[in-house]
Amino acid sequence: MKFEDYLRILRAHWIIVATCVLLVTLGAVVASYLVTPRYAASTRLFVSVSGASSTPDVVDAQQRVTSYTQLLAGENLAQRTIDALNLNMSAKDLAAEVRATSTFESVLIDVTVEDASPGKAATVANELSNQFVQLVSELETPANGGQSAARVVVEHQASVPDAPVYPRKKLGVALGMALGLIAGAGLAILRDRMDNTVRSNRDVEEAAGSEVIGTLPYDDDRPGRTASDQSGIGSSAASLDLRTNLQFRDTAHPPRAFVVTSTSRDEGKTAIAVDIALALADAGMTVALIDGDARSPHLTTYLGLEDTVGVSDVLEGDAPLEKGLQQTRFDEITLLPAGQLPPKPSALLGSEAFQEIMAELRSQFDYVIVDSPPLFPFTDAAVLASHSDGVVLVARTGVTDRRQLADAVAKLRSLNLAVLGVVTVVRARRRRLLRRFRSERIEE
């Protein structure tokens, strides 16, 4: 995957990322207030060897430092300190709060004591250091009472700390935000990998192997409709782009009759069919809209008309074509409703009678647009497409499955049916996404 793909995923799933950042950061803030603060107080000890004046003597002192750091964190010294301060704790617990460190080839030892009380931490650190000075004196003094082989002095006393070393609230919040971002990004990528629906024009073109000829916003407040098919009457920039791409799709043989379909329902195919008709009508073209979806007709409701006489009635010889045609509120658009649901829609639509209807409408109108059922699981769309100049596929982001879209194109091409292109339908409220889709098309 390219860097741009990761950015696309993060933009598409920004709610997941933002939620993770917020929750983990809040958790870090809450934890920082619930956790008991810990304070650290430090002293510094200086180690010397009696009569040290040569390099070997200095090396001897440095070697002793390593052993002394172990003694400082031991339970023996801890018990001596507890007894001296009359502390109510075990030697093991106190030893766990002591840390002794020294740098390489140094005769200095830093002793740090942590505690929930800043005053206690300083008191224990100072007493522990004093007890260690006495312990070294006892260990290094010969039994015959001679001079001590080594000497330790407290070079720096511990002071009462002003701020806790844990939790560090600012650092905790920063780490919380970073971990939340990492977790959110990981979940977003996982969600994207598990989600097989198309999310962008690039997804659509990769799955379909066909060019995206238009990107229209979907109206969330009016399900089934695109944002440009309302009172704007198909004059939106997106609709005009789609109209232009269709008109100049094949300059030698421009498509004048085409089927609009999708892989499944709820992808906005009917809205796109109307949108194309409105855009063509806006250019002064006459359009015949045919509701070829007898199984679930929507065009009459969509255009505010009654589904009385329609395609099935004309095909069965119950009414002439002229009786089925209804003038819409747009002068340039005429509708042929679906009519009554026939027993075998595919057989009826594949008949010679339907071919004659198409030929008649071609002679009367500049364009003929057929709103067909989805390609799956029915064969109606493929049958209708055989009477047209090609198919316009509709893919809706977050709904259309990549594999189904690829299978749909493969099915049409296996039947030698022309795929004029794909129209991507995006949510109308995601205006930024729509602008990004358009810019993506320009860059490509």
β-partners of residue 421 are: 392
First to last CA, the chain: 17
Number of H helices, E strands in the chain: 18, 12
Residues in the chain: 444
CA 401, 405, 411, 412 torsion: positive or negative?
positive
Give the tens place of pLDDT for each residue, 298-324.
Answer: 898 888 888 788 999 999 888 999 999
Q: Which residue has the tokens 């819409």?
A: 328
- Over residues 59-85, the mean pLDDT reads 88
- Tokens in use for 369? 């647009």
What's the burial of 104, exposed, middle or buried (CB within 10 Å: 0-12/13-18/19+)?
exposed
20-to-25, 32, 178, 182, 185 alpha-carbon distances in Å = 8, 18, 10, 9, 9
Q: Which residue, among 24, 25, 67, has the nearest Cα to 47 in the 3D structure?
A: 67
> 146-169 burial string, b = 16+ CB within 10 Å, else e?
eeeebbbebeeebeebeebeebee
Encoded amino acid at 50, one letter? S
Domain boundaries, the chain: 3-35+168-189, 39-156, 198-443
- Over residues 356-378, the mean pLDDT reads 94
Residue 227 pLDDT: 40
Architecture in CATH of 198-443: 3-Layer(aba) Sandwich (3.40)
> What percent of the chain has pLDDT above 90?
55
291-to-258, 261, 362 alpha-carbon distances in Å = 12, 11, 16
Is pTM beyond 0.85 here? no
Rounded CA separation 259/414 (Å) = 17
CB 439: neighbour CB atoms within 10 A?
A: 10
Residue 58 pLDDT: 57
DSSP code string of 340-353: SPPS-HHHHHTSHH
Q: What is the average pLDDT value for the chain, to the nearest integer?
A: 86
Q: Please state which of the four CATH numbers 3.40.50.620, 2.40.50.1020, 3.30.70.1130, 2.60.40.1180 is assigned to the domain occupying 39-156.
A: 3.30.70.1130
Give the tens place of pLDDT for each residue, 252-290.
Answer: 788 999 999 999 988 889 989 999 999 999 999 999 999
Give the tens place of pLDDT for each residue, 167-205.
Answer: 888 888 899 999 999 999 999 999 888 888 998 898 899
Residue 232 pLDDT: 40
